[in-house]
Chains A and B, each alone.
Chain A
Amino acid sequence: MNSKPVIQLRDLCKTYHSGEVEVHAVRGVSLDILKGEFVAIMGSSGSGKSTMMNMIGALDRPTGGQYLLDGVDVATLNRDALAKVRNEKIGFVFQGFNLLSRTTALENVEMPMLYNSGRIRAQERHAQASKALNLVGLGSRSGHHPNQLSGGQQQRVAIARALVNQPTILLADEPTGNLDTQTSIEIMGVFQTLNDQGITIVMVTHELDVARFTKRMIVLRDGRVVTDEPVQPRSQADVELGKLKVAQEAVQLH
């Protein structure tokens, strides 16, 4: 696998000013994430993991340090250029799914293509969106509205939406936070499959179980990296699903 760094953080800082008080959310994080990696960023609430995620996702700007995405210094970009980065290089998956209600799954997945700098024909948009939905195993549900889908299905739609513009990285902020154990494992299975296909994934989570599905675990505390190590042993989604099934059957037997 290619080992070019996709994300390079150099002494990244973020300081909020809330009234008189300065809040140092991120205080000097330096790390490289290579192409094809599957990284979990962990930490308790207030550890700065969400702030860091927003900066990596080009939704927020750092107040210090440097962030290179694909070799481009994101801090130098203006609002429109940031929007372009979010559109073309980054796929974002949220804890709350953030799908548009009363809009079909297919249209939700098509939405990022509406903001592409190059014009994409409606036919092409449909084809790409259908392909992305098939990839996450929801091809048959493309005409459903989010309120007609389960949580796990909604998150799959969100993943399809994140993938549709073929981004360099997939960012997921607590993607399993609103899901039950089985659905969480299924979603992690989707991520593992995508990662096996070569997509770089960075995921924020506070659950160790979920982090075990990734390849590398970074723990933040008070805005600093305290641990950065490979995941050993690594969970495999199909194996875990099998175990869960056995456990559920055992409960029902007694």
Chain B
Amino acid sequence: MRLLASLKISARALRRNKMRSLLTMLGVIIGVGAVIASVSLTSGATKEVEDQVSSLGENVVNVFSGNFTRGGMRGGWGSAPTLTLADSAAIAQLPNVVAVTPEVRDREQVLANGQNWNTLVMGESPSYPQIRNWKMARGAMFSDDDVASLAKCAVIGQTVVDQLFPNQDPVGQTIRIRNLPFLVVGVLAPKGFNLFGQDQDDTVVVPYSSHMHRITTRRFVNDILVEASSSDTINDVQDEINELLLDRHHTTDPDFTVRNQLELMDMVTKTSRTMSLLIAGVAAVSLVVGGIGIMNIMLVSVTERTREIGIRMAVGARAADILVQFLIEAVTLSAFGGAIGIGGGVAFSMTVSNFYGIPAYTPYLWIIIAFASSALIGIISGFYPAWKASQLDPIEALRYE
């Protein structure tokens, strides 16, 4: 028997009891709708976090110096000066390492244009923008020559531009740090707030050598940023850095910490993955409930239409024809319910997103999963009633009142 004719018969049977069909579908509609809505909202949140994490730079390994303990007082991470420029240079020689920058940080009062502003002054290598995946808005990054010559040049963030050079091009102008004139050679593109709510654009970047010899006097760096060649090598690079530094520091007890971006991403997305699992559980329960509703109604329908089944068998319908007809009816119910649920879930998440300004994002995979599982529920819950219908005895069915 052809599919189109079966579909037509099913559609007619379902239209005959509109209210009943709708109520039957409701279980699937609510289940699928709830799943799509929550998946959209959690995916939106996850995606935003992922974007922020990747804005820190891709395939980046952070090396922090260790903590110190003195007389029972324990400093936090980075409080003990253990990392040196030599460490940084040694890391640069490791395989699969693309770029390295030692970092020194300090808050300084910066003067320019008769204005002053307290900001984070960082000493970095010229690789810094590449590692942080950070573009230049104007001008250019300082060079290795500038590092070698302890040049007094700087690259500044957009917030500093706004505070010190409103409505002016800062490139070529001078800022003063600790009364030393630094030439502004470039402006970093706006990057916004980081994961921890800090304004990343509120910064001045100078060659690390200049920072360590002219602004401050220090021999140790705060941390080292390392870019691995790809996400596949990042774990190897991390292990090699660990080994290298233990060796260089002549210790077995690490006086430093190595973290990579993937770990950070994992930590952040762990919560949302737990949420997703929870949602999947709720979804499974509501789909099972919806499936039971469909099975119940299909059993009623088979009983009601016993005579129709008898007539169809008398004119030559085979058991398989009857089975397929009722299966299609059940699948039509559940798939239709699933489609409505997907539409409703997307609409709901978009409304919430617009109303509360939360990002919402519905992955196509979930739409396919939701639709497929609602169709599957139709097949599973429709099978027993359909099989029961197909096994009816034609004479008994014809006599049924």
Contact = CB atoms under 8 A, between A and B. Distances in A.
Nearest to A99: B311
Contacts of B12: 102-103
Interface string A75-110: 000011001101110001010001110110000000
Given A54-B395, A59-B395, A60-B395, A98 B2 contact: no
Interface centre among B4, B16, B316 (most CB of A within 10 A): B316
Contacts of B315: 86-87, 92, 111-112, 115, 161
Interface size class on chain B is 20 to 34
A119 interface: yes
Contacts of A94: 314, 398
B18 to A, nearest CB: 13
Interface stretch (B128-136, B144-152, B317-325): B317-325
Nearest to B321: A115
Contacts of B388: none
B5 interface: yes
B312 interface: yes
Nearest to B16: A102
A208 interface: no
A128 to B, nearest CB: 14
A87 B395 contact: no
A115 B311 contact: no
B316 A86 contact: yes
B313 to A, nearest CB: 7
Contact of A84 (B307, B314, B316): B316
A43 to B, nearest CB: 18
Contact of B398 (A80, A98, A111): A98
Contacts of A239: none
B188 to A, nearest CB: 69
B398 A100 contact: no
Contact of B314 (A59, A80, A102, A103): A59
Contacts of B285: none
Interface in A46-63: 54, 57, 59-60
A170 to B, nearest CB: 13
B16 A100 contact: no
A92 to B, nearest CB: 5
B23 interface: no
Interface in B348-401: 394-395, 398
A115 B318 contact: yes
Contacts of B106: none
A157 B314 CA distance: 15
Interface string B290-331: 000000000000000001101111111111110000000000
A92 B123 CA distance: 96
B1 interface: yes
A59 B394 contact: yes
Contacts of A54: 395
A204 B256 CA distance: 100
B16 A83 contact: no
Contacts of B307: 98
B308 A86 contact: no
A56 to B, nearest CB: 13
Nearest to A86: B316
Contacts of A98: 307, 310-311, 314, 398
A116 B1 CA distance: 7
A114 interface: yes
Given A86-B314, A98-B314, A114 B319 contact: no
A87 B314 CA distance: 8
Contacts of A115: 1, 312, 315-318, 321
A60 B49 CA distance: 70
B1 A114 contact: yes
Contacts of B320: 80
Given A59-B395, A98-B307, A87 B2 contact: no
Contacts of A79: 318-319
B313 A114 contact: no
B108 to A, nearest CB: 84
Contacts of A87: 315-317
Contact of A80 (B2, B319, B395): B319
Given A114-B2, A115-B1, A100 B318 contact: no
Nearest to A165: B316
Nearest to A110: B5
Contacts of A100: 308, 311
Interface centre among A100, A115, A122 (most CB of B within 10 A): A115
A102 B12 CA distance: 9
Nearest to B319: A79
Contacts of B314: 57, 59, 86, 92, 94, 98
Interface string B1-32: 11011000000100010000000000000000
Contacts of A111: 312, 315
A214 B380 CA distance: 52
Nearest to A89: B316
A92 B317 CA distance: 13
B398 A88 contact: no
A231 B320 CA distance: 43
Given A59-B395, A79-B318, 19 more contacts: A79-B319, A80-B318, A80-B319, A83-B317, A83-B319, A86-B313, A86-B315, A86-B316, A87-B316, A88-B316, A92-B315, A98-B310, A98-B311, A103-B12, A112-B316, A114-B2, A115-B1, A115-B317, A115-B321
7 contacts: A79-B319, A99-B311, A111-B312, A114-B5, A115-B1, A115-B315, A115-B321
